[in-house]
Structure 1
Amino acid sequence: MNWWGFTPQPIAAEQYIAAFNEEYPDIEVTFRQLPIDGYDAALRPALSSNAGPDVFAVAPGGGIASVALYGNNAIDLTDAITESLGDDWESQVSATGVEPLTVDGELRALSIGSTFAGNLWINQDLFDEFDLEVPTTLDEWKDACDTFRAGGQGCFIQGAGQVAFNQDTLQSIADSVKPGVWTAASRGEASWDDPAIVEALTIWKDLFDSGIMADGALGLQQYPDASNAFLGGQYAMVQMGTWYMQYATAAGAAEAVGASGVTGAEPFTMLAAPFPDVAGNGNPAQMFGDSDWGLAVSSRSRNQAAATTFATWLTTSVAGQQLVANILNDIPALGGIQPQWDEIELVNPDVQSANLQELIERTTTVSEPRLSLVSSELQEAIGVASTTVASGDATPEEAAATLQATMGG
């Protein structure tokens, strides 16, 4: 059977498949990773043919791999999860992976786990080299970037040209201004031209004007450009969420650094840091998240039984979900599963272990969604707002008014 996805990384997929084959040696699984920006273009025609994948990744919301768009190409997996976990299966899995992956009352995909945004990742080795503390305010962030640049070192990197990730930064900024306002606007409970949203867009513009954002950020993609630049040691900070934990492991770091294309790059001590209080209002940094992605079984697959077995094993079995936890790409969907830290080799465990455990603990109190409320129309509108403000083609007030005119009905 063939499995397509924009995630996970091949090294993780290989581990998933190897562990699955220990229990199901007669089911051969071939994984094909497609680039994020090319996933939809490849998946759409494939699902309409008999040569498409048997199992494929979908995501909540209306962005990349939208379950709202591709769910109708998948079978209902309610019976499969009921057979695996029993009639009370909903009480055993994270709610973030149920309703967001349900289409027309049918569970069209099984969530592998959740991811959360609202934090930065830092190269602690570079912070130590430059004798700097992690910035907690906008002014501290600017000062840190001035110091890094003066020493010939890149400071912060984000691929602002891949607008899906601009939303994460904007939501973090908005939560610093007024906690919950971004989610309220996404639900239609607040206006997109709310003064707090205008202020968030103003701060977003300041990130470009002050030099926090790298030169040419609007021409960069988050993947692979920003990710490779950070993992290759060219920048000290990057905007990414919990899915980036995998690069704190020795194996994940070695592969990612080797693939970054930066000559002489080596694994480093990567730590999570709260998003700075850029508004200066004293609001604690917020995290937000939902199901990362789910496995859907194609309605045209000739191997539906095998595909369903694989999807169910990875997302509902203790063995599969423990492996998900230990790879540190997702917070497992199955309740009660935690990473086995004594079996996880980190680059610098003395420093990273407590940091990662604290990050995971922070996610247990998250109430704000990340993608599940974002329709394709909203994602496009946020992309327009973020890029036009950053480029100076629209003021924050104008961009917020356009957002409201587009989404406010």
Structure 2
Amino acid sequence: MKKLISLALVFLILLTVLSGCAPEQTTGSTGSESSSDQTSGGGEKVVLTAALSMDKTEVYKEFIASYENKYPNVKIDLVSVGANTNEYMALAVQSDTMPDIFSINSDTQGRQIADEGWIMDLRGTEVETLVSPMIIPFFTSDTGLLYGVPYGIATVLMYYNADMFEENDLEIPTNWSEFLDVCATLKSKDIAPISLAVSDSAGNTVFSSIFANLESVNNPDWESQMMDGSYKFADGAVPATFAKYMELVDNEYLQEGAINATYQDSLDAFNQKKTAMYIGGSWFATSIEGVADFALAASNVPYNDAGTDPYTLISPETGWGGSAKSEHQQEILNFIIHFVSDGKTIIQNGRGSVPITKDTTGSILPDVLSDVVPELLKSTKSASLYFVYLPTTFQSEIHKIYQELMIGATTPEEAANTMQTVYDSAFKD
């Protein structure tokens, strides 16, 4: 059963942890605070194409139905792009077939195509007044455009089968050493310790967390270096990040078939009690709670050394943006306004997302998140997920690197050099 939590407290904490000044805002050309009702109740019939990455199709369809009910003259033609948001957007730009509404990430690709004039600027619109100020810097382009709003705030967690832990007299680990001890104990009892999706989620689940805990010790400015093209992979903590991951592989702590496992495969393994732990995003909490028939717990991922606090990974989830080239600017803006106002709880509650709006009335979190998220957000140590600071090309390449490490086709040092090559190429392009 889900329960209401004090989300106002969560946002107060978020603003403290991630406080930063957004670029100076100017009035956008796409609408104003009074624009949201301009086409309600009738008018010219309009069809908008919405190309969306949907992990819970029924939730998105419910939201679209609520928008169409409010604006009966508008019909949404829904297209699913699966999990390949960046690939879809690259092709849409290349072929000049940008849909009216689309999924967009707070990454280098999003910032670039916004500055190239493809995405509606939401500055000065009602959208900007409704979302939490901490969201704005994430979805602000290099020239200061506000090009999207996310479904919610994301973090990465270690989920635990609390029944298995109790049955084996195990405590939830708080650092890397304790984590390895827990894994060893579970393996000795023929229990696969960890469920991990290597083929499509290694960047979020293991790279982001391990790297942040290692690199931040000696280089607090690494995120800005990553984003400006000056970071040197071999000189930093990247080789050590890969080496630490290989401790899990070499000790056979991952589930069988992890090398080719998708996020759904790894979720299924955990939900079916084939593993005791699952490393995954907060966005999967409802997918676990909805089917798990065991006691569930979660914590920050314990990749930190003993005696130190772990870094909390906090980034916006994928969000929505609108085409700057569409003939239906007002209808697109109304869609996004609906997302952060009257329709906000449909997506946020349906996905179990931590909301991004100032007004959190009616927002609900899954039990496992309501217990752990407020505590995580008190952390004075935070870092972004890898897709925020690394070029878009890494979203496919980094998973290949992890797979090559697992089969012995590369070493941690060679993997760092491969990342440097991909990184340098992205900045040259």
Q: TM-score range by the shorter chain?
A: 0.7 to 0.9
TM-score (structure 2 length as normaliser)? 0.72
Q: Cα gap change, 1:5/1:126 in structure 2, threshold over 3 Å: closer, same or farther?
A: farther
1:285 to 310, 313, 337: 310
Find the counterpart in structure 2 of residue 159 from structure 1.
197
Verify the 8 A CA contact 1:176 1:281 in the aligned structure 2.
no
Number of aligned residue pairs: give it. Answer: 373
Show the counterpart of 2:349: 326
Q: TM-score, normalised by structure 1?
A: 0.75
Aligned to 2:411: 395
Alignment of 1:175 onto 2:200: no
Q: Does 2:78 correspond to 1:3?
A: no
- The AA in structure 1 aligned to 2:318 is W
Structure 1 SS opposite 2:317: strand
Structure 1 residues without counterparts, runs of 5 or longer? 258-265
- For 1:110, the equivalent position in structure 2 comes to 149
Asked whether the equivalents of residues 113 and 332 of structure 1 are also in contact (C-alpha less than 8 Å), the reply is yes
Structure 2: segments with no counterpart, 5+ residues? 1-47
* Distance in 1 (alpha carbons) for counterparts of 2:95 and 2:243: 47
Question: Match for 2:54: what amino acid?
Answer: T
Alignment-mate amino acid for residue 165 of structure 2: F
1:271 is paired with a residue whose SS is: strand
Q: Which residue of 2 aligns with 1:241?
A: 281
Which residue number corresponds to residue 261 of structure 1?
none
Preserved CA contact (<8 Å) 2:202 2:399? no
Deviates most, 134-143 or 377-386: 377-386
In structure 2, the CA distance between the partners of 1:339 and 1:399, relative to structure 1 (3 Å rule), is farther
Bigger Cα displacement from structure 2, 203-212 vs 42-51: 42-51
Shift in alpha-carbon separation, 1:356–1:176, aligned structure 2, 3 A: closer
- The answer to whether the aligner puts 1:93 opposite 2:137 as a matched pair is no
After superposition, residues 201-350 of structure 1 pair within 5 angstroms as 201-222=242-263, 224-247=264-287, 253=290, 257=291, 266-277=292-303, 280-299=305-324, 301=326, 303-315=328-340, 317=341, 319-327=342-350, 329-337=352-360, 340-341=363-364, 346=366, 349=367
Partner secondary structure for residue 134 of structure 1: coil
Contact 2:267 2:278 in 1 (8 A): yes
Q: How far apart, in 2, do the equivalents of 1:297 and 1:323 lie?
A: 20
Q: Distance in 2 between matches of 1:184 and 1:200?
A: 19
Alpha-carbon offset, residue 195 of structure 1: 5.4
Aligned mate of 1:82, from 118, 121, 124: 124
Which of 12, 27, 34 does residue 81 from structure 2 map onto?
34
Deviations 1:39-84 (A, max 9, x none): 4555555677898743110112247xx4535775744233xx6342
Equivalent residues in 2 for 1:133-148 (5 A)? 133-148=171-186
Partner of 1:179, secondary structure, is helix
102-111 or 266-275, which deviates more? 102-111
The answer on whether the counterparts of 1:97 and 1:291 sit within 8 Å (CA) in structure 2 is no
| Aligned-pair CA distance for 1:209 | 0.3
Distance 1:277 1:322, change over 3 A: same
The one-letter code matched in structure 2 to 1:169 is V
Q: Cα RMSD over matched residues? A: 3.6
Would the alpha carbon gap of residues 352 and 393 (structure 1) be closer, same or farther in structure 2, given more than 3 Å must change? closer
Aligned to 1:262: none
TM-superposed CA distance for 1:17, in Å, is 3.1
Distance in 1 (CA, whole Å) between partners of 2:400 and 2:67 is 43
CA offsets per residue over residues 273-319 of structure 1, 9 Å max, x none? 121145x353211122332122122356465433321122203x2x3
Deviation at 1:381, TM superposition (A): 5.5
Tell me the secondary structure at the aligned position of residue 243 of structure 1.
helix
Once residues 357 and 95 of structure 1 are traced to their aligned partners in structure 2, the CA distance between those partners, rounded to angstroms, is 16
- Cα drift, residue 91 of structure 1: 9.1
**Is the CA contact (8 Å cut-off) linking 2:404 and 2:410 kept in structure 1?**
yes
Once residues 7 and 288 of structure 1 are traced to their aligned partners in structure 2, the CA distance between those partners, rounded to angstroms, is: 23
- How far apart, CA to CA, are the structure 2 residues paired with 1:397 and 1:268? 41
Residues 391 and 423 in structure 2, CA contact (< 8 A), matched pair in contact too: no
Task: Check conservation: 2:212, 2:383, Cα contact below 8 A.
Answer: no
Sort the Cα spacing of 1:198 and 1:98 in 2 relative to 1 into closer, same or farther, 3 A. Answer: closer
Query: Within 2, Cα distance between the matches of 1:83 and 1:380?
Result: 34
